[in-house]
Amino acid sequence: MKKLFISAALFSLCSASVLAASAFSSGEDAVEYRKHAFQLIRHNASDIGDMLQGKVTFDAARAQKRADTLVALSALPWEAFSVEGANKASGDAKAEIWADFKDFTAKADKFQQDAKALQTAASSGDQAKLKAAFATFRGNCKACHDKYKAD
Ligand code: HEC
């Protein structure tokens, strides 16, 4: 009987989280989420850029840590563009995103692929390779912002 009760309680816990089915409490919450993700992307990318430009001393382990983090971060913003209430132009997100969501998604996918290539380049220990991979990775920001981000 007790066992049955526990499994019923567990089941209701699980189904509660399935019912919630979202990490976002509202459209505004989703917009905040993607903005924070982009800020974290900026911080981590800038540090690699500064190292490659000699603004700070190059540290291979630190570059690797940043690249590893960017693989995870580059996957984050996109789901928040499909959340009800966050799926229309607002702030810096232009209406063009949803007018051509396929292209926007393709750009987001390429960005994630290039983050993985950046990670591989970082682990090669070859700075020239890292520099080339970083230039490709960094090119995604402008390519997407020019079309889909205001300012
Ligand atoms: C596939 C499209 C895409 C790519 C790739 C992309 N961004 Fe963005 N970014 C956006 C959009 C759209 C917004 C506006 C989001 C909003 O205001 O809801 C944005 C917003 C930002 C913001 C402002 C966040 C805020 O606090 O308002 C920063 C910073 C940023 N991006 C940095 C970057 C950097 C750095 C890269 C590349 C390393 C990058 N983004 C790659 C689409 C992209």
pTM of the model: 0.89
Report d(CA 121, CA 133) in Å as an integer. Answer: 7
Ligand 1 binding pocket mutation candidate from 38, 43, 50 (most atoms within 8 A of CB): 38
Predicted pLDDT at 2: 57
pLDDT at 16 over 50: no
Instruction: Answer yes or no: is pLDDT of 17 > 50.
Output: no
Ligand 1 neighbourhood includes 107 CB (under 6 angstroms): yes
Q: What is the pLDDT of residues 21-72, one digit of tens each?
A: 689 999 999 999 999 999 999 999 999 999 999 999 999 999 999 999 999 9
The rounded Å distance from CA 14 to ligand 1 centre is 34
Q: For residue 17, what are the CA distances in angstroms to 14, 26, 140? A: 5, 16, 35
What mean pLDDT is predicted for residues 133-142? 98
What mean pLDDT is predicted for residues 7-17?
Answer: 49
Domain 26-82+97-148 coded CATH 1.20.120.10: yes
Q: Render 73-120 in DSSP notation, one character per residue.
A: HTTSGGGGGSSTTSSS-BTTB-THHHHTHHHHHHHHHHHHHHHHHHHH
Q: Is a pLDDT exceeding 90 seen at residue 128? A: yes
Judge whether residue 8 has pLDDT over 80.
Answer: no
Supply the pLDDT for residue 19.
36
Q: What is the pLDDT of residues 89-125, one digit of tens each?
A: 998 999 999 999 999 999 999 999 999 999 999 999 8
How far, in Å, from the CA of 6 to the mean position of ligand 1? 45
